Structure 1
Amino acid sequence: MVALTIWNEYRHEREHDAVGEVYPDGIHATIAGALESDPERDLEIRTATLDEPDHGLPPDVLEKTDVLCWWGHEAHDEVADEVVARVQERVLEGMGLIVLHSAHFSKPFKRLMGTSCDLQYREDGGRERLWVVDPGHPIADGVAESFDLPRTEMYGEPFDVPEPDRLVFVSWFEGGEVFRSGCCYRRGKGRIFYFRPGHETYPIYEDENVGRVLRNAVDWASPTEGSPRTFGKRD
């Protein structure tokens, strides 16, 4: 059993009709549905949102979370630093973190990367093609060599993140831009996967290929036993 917590600001869906029409129950609910649709995976899923106490991530919840999936966009600065530090420590202890789309600017991801995580973007509703560039990686299991998203937001290089440990996907856009769309990292004992697709006004999380990638990412990011982390003076 993998304990998965899906975190979402849950602001756009309530404040913008165009987003609410695409994700009437919230982006977190759609992601949860995509992950629950696979009977072969034994997941215990809960959701958390920005406006809950402790942003839905009090210490006892994070302590029980094996993988945290994070979606954010317009309210990154409203996430309390205390919660960010709590997430960072849990990742270092072994909790997996999946960072989606505009959460490249989230406080937890920026703190763990140590860079601005900035990029270029264009909201034009153009087509994106994602190419698998590391077909042997577990996150690419069962994914075709490429798949298209017919309408999306463009993200372009340079992407100010550290060089990924493994790069699983690269995106191409109709404007000719390319982007590192599936980046894997280790921080402490925890695994981190950044996955680019997911603009709030397009039903990207209903796409079958995106759902498969997310399910694979949860498997990959789940904690492993490893060796204990010990610090301080030794006798």
Structure 2
Amino acid sequence: MRSSSLISVTPLLPVALLVLVAAGALVALLGGLGHGRAVVTACLRAALQLGVVSAVITWVIEVGVAVAGFILVMYGVAAYTAGRRVTRSARSAWWAGVPIAAGAAPVLAVLTVSGTVSTDGIVIIPVAGILLGGCLTATALSGRRALDELAQRRGEVEAALALGFMPRAAALEICRPAAAQALVPALDQTRTVGLVTLPGAFVGMLLGGASPIQAGVVQLVVLVALLAAEAATILVTVELVVRGRFGTA
């Protein structure tokens, strides 16, 4: 009989997790990556946060106001996290909420208004989480790459200004190609789906009893939605960078 769960919960599960956490931390530490402690703290936070979410999610999905509040909390955490990755300035960091909202909100609106995605809490919360997570990563990567590029190639920006470029156009000419690379992971994931990986939405649908066709449709919607959201997010992030909203690198 086929198991209905991807992960088997056994007494050895905590041991396996501890071994993997220790291995990741040691590799980061001994390899000089500088994130040994961060690996441990990230895993501990993940365990704690997932435990809390698992405890409250049953109540949240039954109350409309709670669903909206939960999504807003996810949005706030995404904006804060992305902002910290882009800039050290606490005041400037909150600008990260603009590209995340610009990417996730319109896509989520299209999915719900068209009836593609149900507004039931059990559906809308994970879909919103997927979109916000993708936009978080896109904002952090594109913002950081754009700022770094402007800092390292400041002379080229000044040369463009000397040639008559307006400040915004000069900055865009230098940083936009580098920032656009933030879309590559989403592009690669979409191009190789089914050939290299079977993403979480597809596997989750199969384990939940859906047919492979249904699972494929759900995964396609998720991937296309993520591409659209992240493209919009990167565009807005670059615009904010060249307008100086995140400060300088």
Q: Scaled by the length of structure 1, what TM-score is found?
A: 0.28
Q: Give 1 or 2: higher helix fraction.
A: 2
Task: Please identify the structure whose Cα radius of gyration is greater.
Answer: 2
